[in-house]
Amino acid sequence: MKRGTHTGHCQACGRRQMVTPSGIAKHGYTVKGWGYFAGTCHGSGHKPLEIERTYTDEIIVKLGERARSMTTIANEYRGGKRIPLDVGTGKMLETGRDRYNRREWTEERIAWSTATVAQQAKEVERVVRAHEDDARRSRQHAEFLGKLADSVHGKALAPRAVKIAPRTFTEGERLKYYGEEYIVARIQGWSPRQQYVHLRRISDGREISPSVQRVRNHIS
């Protein structure tokens, strides 16, 4: 198999990626608020799921363990066996500015012992919800990978779709647009998405200026 000629499913994230001689091509995978996959996907470099599912099955087991662990921790916070180290007050503090000179903010946090009962209860609720959400996402991804593995493992890799370069035009070129003969007088515009073709009709010299895309769609 030549480099870059086929695609397959990543064993970790489940997305279709390019397959190289060393395995699935390097790719990113980030889930906001969930650090299990962050930056480069763990599945990069592994064989595609169509060929092998060992790593997928390992991840499914680990995700199940993570889900159970997060659920246990959530219950411990809910039952008072664990308490947060600090508490958010709801007050936003300016911490500086980003590279675009926009203000950056963060929530003020105080020690658990100095927080009010209401603040403590709200913080416990937040922590419990975060761990329960983590557990839910872990279970969902494990279920997704399991179904995907059962569906694609053992099947052939998909040939990479070949991209055909869009039709270009040159000054002086003759073409038939909406059934009439024209000459390309000139092309105007810097961006390919905003270019216009100035066409001069051969029969009477009349000029029109349709977009490049419109010309591509209606030439014969």
pLDDT reported for residue 209 = 87
- What mean pLDDT is reported for the chain? 89
74-109 core/surface letters (b: 16 or more CB in 10 A; e: else): beebeeeebebeebbbeeeeeeeeeeeeeeeeeeeb
pLDDT reported for residue 1 = 42
Q: Average of pLDDT values for 90-113?
A: 92
Q: Rounding to the nearest 10 degrees, give the CA dihedral for residues 66, 69, 73, 76.
A: 160
Cα of 21 vs its chain's centroid, Å: 24
**Lowest-confidence pick of 43-47, 102-106, 189-193:** 189-193
pLDDT reported for residue 215 = 85
Domain ranges of the chain: 6-159, 174-218
Residue 136's SS3 state is helix
Position 168: which residue type? Answer: T
pLDDT-above-90 percentage for the chain: 65
Flag whether pLDDT at 36 surpasses 90. no
**Lowest-confidence pick of 42-51, 97-106, 159-168:** 159-168
Flag whether pLDDT at 120 surpasses 90. yes
Structure confidence at residue 192 as a pLDDT band (50, 70, 90): low
| Per-residue pLDDT tens over the stretch 130-179 | 999 999 999 999 999 999 999 999 999 999 877 778 888 889 999 988 88
